Structures are given as C-alpha cells and as structure tokens.
Amino acid sequence: MPASTKFVVTGGAGFIGSTLVRRLLRLGPVAVIDNLLTGRERNLEEVRGQIEFHNTDIRDAKAVAPLIAGADTVFHLAAIPSVPRSIDDPEPSHEVNIDGTFNVFRAAAQGGVRRIVYAASSSAYGDTPTLPKTESMTPAPKSPYAAQKLMGEYYASVFYSCFGIETVSLRFFNVYGPRQDPSSPYSGVLSLFMKHLLNRTTPTIFGDGEQTRDFTYVEDVAGLCYKASQAPGVAGKMYNAGNGGRYSLNFIWDLLQKIEGVRIAPNYGPPRPGDVRDSMADTASAKAELGHAPRFSIEEGLKRTLEWYRQTI
Ligand code: UD1
C-alpha cells in the first residue's frame, strides 16, 4: 500500500469509528467526517492532531463529496443508531441512514475511491427463530432502523454492480467497548449497565432479560473493518461481523455484579417495541473470506470496558 493511501472514516468520532481511526493511523493518513450528533470529539482526544477532522453532516452531499474524492478506502460508519430512536423519530434516521449513505456512496464512486466498507446491522435478520444467523437467510427487518441499514446493504451491492466501486458490507452485532456513550436512553445496553454498575444504581431490563445478543468487542470489529478493506475477491458481498456467541441480559448483569462484587437487583419493564428476541452470528464466511479472528471473550471484553468506564465516569 503506498504511503499516501488515505482512509476516510464517516462517523469517526463515534465509539466504533474512533477505535478504527486509531488502528488506521498506523497505516496512512486518516480523515474523519462526523457531525458530532452522537459522536464526540473527545473520543479522538490524543489522536486529534494527527487526523483531518471535518464537522460535516452526510446529509449535505455537496459538502461531503470533496472530502471523500481521491481517498483509497471509505469506512462508512456514520449513522443515527438505535432501534427505538428510529421508531420514536423516524425522519432523521431515515435521512441519515438512507439518504446520507447514498451521498457517501455516490461521492466515493464519483471520486475514484477503491473500496467502501459499510457498517450494516444484524437487525436486518429480524426475529426469525433460526440461530445462528447466516448471510444467506432472507432479511426480515422489524424496525425503521433495521430497514434503513438493510437498504444501505442493497445500495452497497448495487454500487458495485452498476458503478464498479468495490463495496463490502459488515453486519455489526451489538458492538460494545470503551468510549460507548451511556448518556442517552437510546445508548447501547452494555454502556448503560456499566454506568449503573459503577454508580450503584438500578438498571432497567426490558422484558424478562432472557433475550440474547452476540455482544462483540469493539477492537474485534475495528480489526475486521480493516481486513474487509483489504481482502481480495469480496467486492459486492455482505458478512456477519459478530463474535459468534450469545448471552442473555440477565447473564451479563449477573457477571458484571460478580466482577464488581456488588448485588443490585434490576428493574424489569415491558418488552421494547421493535426488539429482536435472539441474535447470534454465524462467523464462518467472515473467518474464511475476510480472515475474521475475534480475540475477546465476553469476560475479557467486559473487564476491559469496565476499567475504561471506571477511569471516565
Ligand atoms: C440493535 C442491533 C445492533 C445495532 C444496534 C444499533 C439487533 C439484534 N441488534 O441492537 O446490531 O448495532 O441496534 O443501535 O437488532 N435494553 C434493556 N435496558 C436498557 C436498554 C436496552 O433491557 O436500558 C435491552 C433492549 O430492549 C434489547 C437489548 O437490551 O433487548 C439490547 O438493546 P440495545 O443495546 O439497544 O441494542 P439492540 O437494539 O439489540
């Protein structure tokens, strides 16, 4: 790879994007596009001086195009995340996750970018009972967010077949780790669990807590994003980016209490609309074709994450 190879990370101030930025900086210049809606500049603190940072909204096609043109790889992670947020307020998530994604892909195709790696979502599988979820299954989105992320995958594949730009979609499975923002009711459940654990306050679990997720440590996801940008013969394809296990919320909350040596009984509330019951990735294709090799067990990932929150909260 030439020394001047440039990476663009949309959503680079988010917790996944900022982890990826740190990894990419070892390999070439990095530009971040982020409007700081859910991202935070402090997520880039010690690397801020080494990157090009653009406070730009991907809904603004004209502003985005020149920032992307001429890059080698675009990692498209910018999105308005959260299933419930997309139900409570569907317009912004539609505009960012579909129109914004189109703008990024269009800018990349017209700007001569070699490859796009797109952050898709495991929510596309919906509530089908079969586990693990394999890439060949028919999607069944249950929420606007899931439908939007699925549309991005379809666009990724069509941008390859119609416009010739290499694209790879990675379906992220409930990513967690340092720098995940616990300050919103729409925050990922593990960031909320961490905050409650350290503050000794009571978390709310929606439903019976026996729903399961393939919680995936952020470093493993960032590693896979880079691998997906380099692997040969994968253009136009979609892969699961999970860890390959699944854990219930009750199990995780128990484990966190054991690690911390406290007992705090959770509140149980009604199940959340749009929620999927169980989720677990079949990682065989990502391992065989992209070299996916998740390194972090749930225990190790939770311990590392908890230590980060302890220093920060
Ligand atoms: C979904 C996607 C995930 C995507 C994410 C983006 C699935 C299986 N996963 O995550 O790939 O990256 O959207 O936002 O669709 N919960 C509580 N208490 C809380 C908060 C949440 O019990 O305070 C529960 C939720 O009801 C849910 C689980 O925890 O059952 C996980 O919720 P959350 O962290 O929001 O992620 P998903 O919606 O599963």
Q: Is the CB of 133 under 6 A from ligand 1?
A: no
Q: Among candidates 276, 235, 239, 225, which has minimal Cα distance to 134?
A: 239
Residue from 123, 197, 211, 215 to probe ligand 1 pocket by mutation (most atoms less than 8 Å from CB): 123
State the closest ligand 1 atom to the C-alpha of 171, by its place in the atom list counted from 1. Answer: 11
* Structure-token pair, residue 35: 């409007």
Cβ-count burial 289-304 (b if 16+ within 10 Å, e if not): bbebebebebeebbee
**For residue 2, pLDDT beyond 80:** no
Q: Is the CB of 173 under 6 A from ligand 1?
A: yes
State the closest ligand 1 atom to the C-alpha of 206, by its place in the atom list counted from 1. Answer: 22
CATH 2.40.128.720 fits 7-176+218-243+281-294, yes or no: no
* Structure-token pair, residue 15: 């917790």
User: Hey, whose CA ends up nearest to atom 1 of ligand 1?
Assistant: 123
Architecture of domain 189-212+246-279+302-312: Alpha-Beta Complex (3.90)
Q: Is 288 exposed, middle or buried (0-12, 13-18, 19+ CB in 10 A)?
A: exposed
Q: Is the CB of 81 under 6 A from ligand 1?
A: yes
Q: What is the mean pLDDT of residues 36-51?
A: 97
**For residue 1, pLDDT beyond 50:** no
Ligand 1 centroid–CA 80 distance in Å is 14
Q: Tell me the per-residue pLDDT of 139-165, one tens digit each, with 9 for 90 and over.
A: 999 999 999 999 999 999 999 999 999
- Confidence (pLDDT) at 313: 79
Q: Among candidates 126, 174, 167, which has minimal Cα distance to 146?
A: 126
Q: Tell me the per-residue pLDDT of 267-298, one tens digit each, with 9 for 90 and over.
A: 999 999 989 999 999 999 999 999 999 999 99
- 3-class DSSP state of 138: coil
Q: Is the CB of 168 under 6 A from ligand 1?
A: no
Q: Tell me the per-residue pLDDT of 104-139, one tens digit each, with 9 for 90 and over.
A: 999 999 999 999 999 999 999 999 899 999 999 999
Domain spans, the chain: 7-176+218-243+281-294, 189-212+246-279+302-312
The mean predicted confidence, pLDDT, of the chain is 97
**Poorest-confidence range of 3-7, 63-67, 288-292?**
3-7
Q: Is the CB of 95 under 6 A from ligand 1?
A: no
Q: Is 125 a catalytic residue?
A: no
The active-site residue, picked from 118, 125, 145, 176, is 145
Q: What is the mean pLDDT of residues 245-273?
A: 97
C-alpha distances (whole Å) from 163 to each of 69, 155, 255, 293, 311 are: 15, 11, 48, 31, 47
Q: Tell me the per-residue pLDDT of 199-230, one tens digit each, with 9 for 90 and over.
A: 999 999 999 999 999 999 999 999 999 999 99
- 3-class DSSP state of 246: coil
Q: Tell me the per-residue pLDDT of 83-98, one tens digit each, with 9 for 90 and over.
A: 999 999 999 999 999 9
Q: What pLDDT band is residue 4 in, cutting at 50, 70 and 90?
A: low
